[in-house]
Structure 1
Amino acid sequence: MSNPFKPTAGATPPLLVGRQPVLDAFQESIEDGPGSPYLLQLMTGARGVGKTVMLNELGEVAQANGWVVIHVTAGPGMLERIAQRARVRRQELGAVDRGHGATTWSVTTPLGGVSRQSPSPEAESWPWVDEVAALLDVLAAHQTGVCITVDEIHSLDVEQMQTLAGDIQMLIRESRPIALIMAGLPRAVEELLAGESRPTTFLRRAERPVLRDVPVSEVADSFLQIVTDAGRSLSDELAMVCARATNGYPFMIQLVGYHTWRQGRTGPITAEHVTAGVAAARARLGALVHEPALADLSEVDRTFLVKMAQDDGASRLADIAARMGKTSQYAGVYRDRLLKAGMIQAAGYGLVDFDAPYLREYLREHAAHLMADRHTRHTRSDEGGPG
């Protein structure tokens, strides 16, 4: 039997747990029409919490309503990729005759067919917003629209963001059926919204769903359903053991399920399978989530986390500062940075705790390595080598 769990970044899991309210709100906004709130979203959450999966799922909702969906990842050339995909989809929907006078569209959509004419430009390609507007013209007869999703918005530069936001705002003002859903790490969104330009101000009015961990009871139910649907069995008690091992962290749900399933592949899942599977999942979580997340941080950010990991529970800022040999004011700057990055979370007045499961244990296990790397970099800098 094939393994039903999918621990690959962005892969749609066999059962989406705890996200239905976000999907329902988007469906309602599609039904309510242009200008509805959830057609413009800035989605945030920590690494591995399922942002890319949600973009895929929201795209499925849009497609089920007859909308055209364009998925892109932020970065150089993003607007050109949107334009190209809009042009391709427009051509897929009908025969395009680029004559001197008009363009004839013979269109078949999920909701029927239509023919219409519009002026034909001399150029073969248009600016991205014109390509999207032309696609919207084709879809207008059936009252469907275009949904654009943008992943990893921390890769956007300011110019791209302002162009995208300004053009989307124009389409919304024209009552076009357009949806823009973006996803990124919390700090990226905060930085994105920090400017004072008109497009940035417009984006501050976007809905901002925050994807968080899933209740453990729902995770246990999902393990039971997935395993049963795939033809094996799992007791209620072992399903809860698996669920607790995930801490409700969506990517860990897939890792625990995948590695537990691998232990036997056939027959009932046993306690031995679960124990081995959880251990393997924890190791993979470190390599796939914690290691790249820490690599994106500054040296002082990592030092803050290593010193914080010395506590068994929530940490006091004053204690972390003392271990760093710095003032609380100095440490507070890095606390705020790590809160925005989704690495830690507030845990009461003056307290912080780790946001991702097993990050504390990972930092303890790798503290010597992380601090050794920091010492090596400082030594090389002092010797005139690369800093």
Structure 2
Amino acid sequence: MTRQRHSNPFKPTAGRMPPLLIGRDNIINDFEEGLDDGPGAPGRLMRVTGARGVGKTVILTEFGRIAKNRKWEVIDETASNGLAQRLLDRLSPSNTAFNVSLKPSLSVTGMGSLNLGEANISSQQMPLTLREALSRKLDSLERKHAGLLVTIDEAQAAERADMVAIATAVQHLIREERDVAFIFAGLPTIASKWLNDEVLTFLRRAQAEQLGDIPLQDVKDAFEDTFHDSGITIDGEALDMAADATEGYPFMIQLVGYHIWRITYRRHQNEDRTSDSGIIVSEKDAAQGIANALNRLGDAVHGPELDGLSPIDKTYLLAMAQDNGPSSTSVVAERMGKDVNYANIYRTRLIDAQVIRDAGYGKVDFAIPYLRQYLREHAAYIRMSSAR
């Protein structure tokens, strides 16, 4: 008998839609209500923040799916230089696309055509141009009783001129009660970078949604259901081990589930059975899957997170990593060879970025699971790279 090949139900890849969105019911409901309640509803202008790996991109993907089910058009973008121009290009029909670079010419009798050089859409012109393009797109969509959702990921990386153009357009469209929704997602630094900018006050009015960790009981329930639906049983100590290892961190939930499922299914195949019935996750399967997940977590989350920090930020974290639990801020400063006031500058930065958290009076702890372990294992390399 040929065994049926099952696909792994867990998707620990950035931006991939996982089969479970546990713990995200409130934000999803807010967005759905925003679409249903019409122009001006809070859920149509939202900023979603959180540390790496908490599922910001997954939420944007889910929002897009919800909007498409309502026959809305969806534009997904990731912030980088030229964001406003890319939006403009996607809003304009292919035969009338706006170009940042224009090369007009002048015909003169007896001289043929003269090139007048290159003309650019300036940062002052872009807001009006983008607003017009959005309005035209909405004219077409609203005739079909549809709307437009624009999602912008990694918003903390956007250029100010692009954000000004988008802000100007959004404010006018909301005032005109158009069927449009804008969702901005990014790291917590989006707050310090954009919310105090006078030109970008519209972001302060955006509904704030901060994604955090998932309660462990919810993780257990999700593991049990997801494994069961794919023909595998996980319960008892193996289930407890799996859930506890995630620490409620959404990306780790996907990693742990993926690797435990993979190891269990491969073991079952190697036992040369003729059917996929009765597959049970053993404690050994769970332990090996957790170990594999931890190795992947460092490459996917810890390394990129540290790459975005300053050398002194990393020094602060290395000083914290010497403790087995919450660290005293005064002891951290002493290890850094700095006074407490100086060290507190970096404490505040790291808390704002949700890399560490306040653990009570005079104490801090790591906010990202297993970062302490990663720092200890890579301390020499981190020090060497910071000294360059």
Normalising by the smaller structure, the TM-score range is 0.7 to 0.9
- How far, CA to CA, are the matches of 1:221 and 1:46 in structure 2? 24
**Shift of residue 259, structure 1, vs aligned partner:** 1.0
Q: Determine the structure 2 residue equivalent to 1:298.
A: 310
**1:325 equivalent in structure 2:** 337
Cα 1:225–1:89 change in 2 (3 A) is: farther
Corresponding letter in the other structure for 1:53 = V
State the match for 1:355 in structure 2. 367
Report the counterpart of residue 218 of structure 2 in structure 1.
218
Question: How do 1:148-163 residues align onto structure 2 when only pairs under 5 Å count?
Answer: 148-163=150-165
Q: Secondary structure at the match of 2:39?
A: coil
Q: Percent identity?
A: 45
Cα deviation digits, residues 24-80 of structure 1 (max 9, x gap): 011111111111111111110000000000011111121222211110111122222
Q: Could you tell me which residue of structure 2 aligns to residue 263 of structure 1? A: 263
The answer to whether the Cα contact below 8 Å between 2:237 and 2:283 also exists between their aligned partners in 1 is: no
* Counterpart Cα distance in 1 of 2:283 and 2:238: 7
Q: How many residues align?
A: 340
SS in 2 for 1:289: helix
Name which of structure 1's ranges 80-89 and 260-269 shifts more when overlaid on structure 2: 80-89
For residues 207-242 of structure 1, give each alpha carbon's deviation from its aligned partner in whole angstroms, at most 9, with x where no partner exists. Answer: 110000000110111111111111222124322221
Residues 135, 217 of structure 1: alpha-carbon distance in 2 compared, 3 angstrom cutoff = same
Q: What corresponds to 1:106 in structure 2?
A: none
The one-letter code matched in structure 1 to 2:238 is L
How do 1:74-223 and structure 2 match up within 5 A? Answer: 74-87=79-92, 127-197=129-199, 200-223=200-223
Which residue does 2:21 correspond to in 1? 16
Q: In the alignment, which residue of structure 1 is the partner of 2:123?
A: none
Name the amino acid aligned to 2:154. Answer: E
The reply on whether 1:54 has 2:56 as its aligned counterpart is no
Q: Quick one: which of 7, 10, 14 aligns to 2:12?
A: 7
Note if contact 1:146-1:179 (Cα within 8 Å) is conserved in structure 2.
yes
Q: Is the 8 A contact 2:220 2:240 kept in 1?
A: yes
The answer for unaligned runs of 5 or more in structure 2 is 1-5, 97-127, 269-278
1:240 aligns with 2:240: yes
Letter matched to residue 202 of structure 1 = F
1:364 to 359, 373, 376: 376
TM-score where L is the length of structure 1: 0.84
**Aligned-partner residue type, residue 256 of structure 1:** V
> Matches of 1:183 and 1:51 in 2, distance apart?
6
* Aligned residue number for residue 113 of structure 1: none
CA 1:72 to 1:16, structure 2 compared with 1: closer, same or farther past 3 Å? same
Change (3 A) 1:172 1:327: same
Q: TM-score, normalised by structure 2?
A: 0.84
Give, in angstroms, the shift of residue 145 of structure 1: 1.1
Q: CA-to-partner distance for each residue in 1:269-323, whole Å, 9 max, x for gaps? A: 1111100000110111011100111011110000000001112222221111011
1:131, 1:373 → 2: CA distance? 46
Shift of 1:89: 10
Counterpart CA distance in 2 for 1:351 and 1:206 is: 32
Change (3 A) 1:240 1:86: farther
1:280 correspondence with 2:292: yes
Amino acid paired to 1:182: F
Cα distance between partner residues in 2 of 1:155 and 1:15: 28
Deviations 1:331-373 (A, max 9, x none): 0110111112221112222222111100011111111221233
* Separation in structure 2 between the aligned mates of residue 201 and residue 46 of structure 1, nearest angstrom: 23
Distance 2:167 2:239 in 1: 45
What is residue 381 of structure 1 aligned with on the other side? none
5+ long unaligned stretches in structure 1:
92-125, 378-387
Give 1:22 shift.
0.4
CA 268–88 in structure 1, closer or farther in 2 if over 3 Å, else same: farther
Partner Cα separation in structure 2 for residue 276 and residue 263 of structure 1? 8
